[in-house]
Amino acid sequence: MPITHAKGLLPQEADPLFIGLFPGGVSYANRNVEEDGDYKRLAFLPYDTLALEVQKDCPPELRHRIVEDAKTIQARRGQPFRVSTCGQTVRLGR
C-alpha cells in the first residue's frame, strides 16, 4: 500500500511535492524534476525567521500548496516544533 501525502490528497508516487524537515528548516521540492542529483528545490522555510523563500521558477500549482503548508507552520510561531523522530524540537521564529 502506498504512503499517502500528509494531507491525504495523493499517493506519494503521484504527488510531485516533496516536503522535508531539515536541521535549518522545511524544504519544498519537486520530486518529478532532478537538479544536481536531487529533487529540484522550490522553496525553503527557515525555522528561525519563518520567512518563506520561494524560487522564481516554482510552478503556480505547487506554489499555492507550499504557501498554504508554510502558513500552518508560521501560525505556530514561538511554539516548539518537532524535527526528528527522537523528539528533538526547535522553537519557531525568533
pLDDT by residue for the chain (94 residues), tens only, comes to 344 445 555 555 679 999 999 989 999 999 999 999 999 999 999 999 999 999 999 999 999 999 999 999 999 999 999 998 899 999 999 7
**What's the domain count of the chain?**
1
Whether residue 20 contacts residue 26, with contact meaning beta carbons closer than 8 Å, is answered with: yes
- Cα dihedral 76/61/25/35 (nearest 10): 180
List the grid coordinates of 58: 516554482
User: Do the domain assignments include residue 11?
Assistant: no
Residue 46 burial (CB count, 10 A): 15
User: Do the domain assignments include residue 50?
Assistant: yes
User: Do the domain assignments include residue 40?
Assistant: yes
User: Do the domain assignments include residue 6?
Assistant: no
The helix (run of H) or strand (run of E) holding residue 86 is none
Dihedral sign, Cα of residue 67, residue 10, residue 8, residue 45: negative
User: Do the domain assignments include residue 22?
Assistant: yes
User: Do the domain assignments include residue 63?
Assistant: yes
User: Do the domain assignments include residue 76?
Assistant: yes
User: Do the domain assignments include residue 21?
Assistant: yes
Q: Could you tell me the residue range of the domain that residue 41 belongs to?
A: 17-91
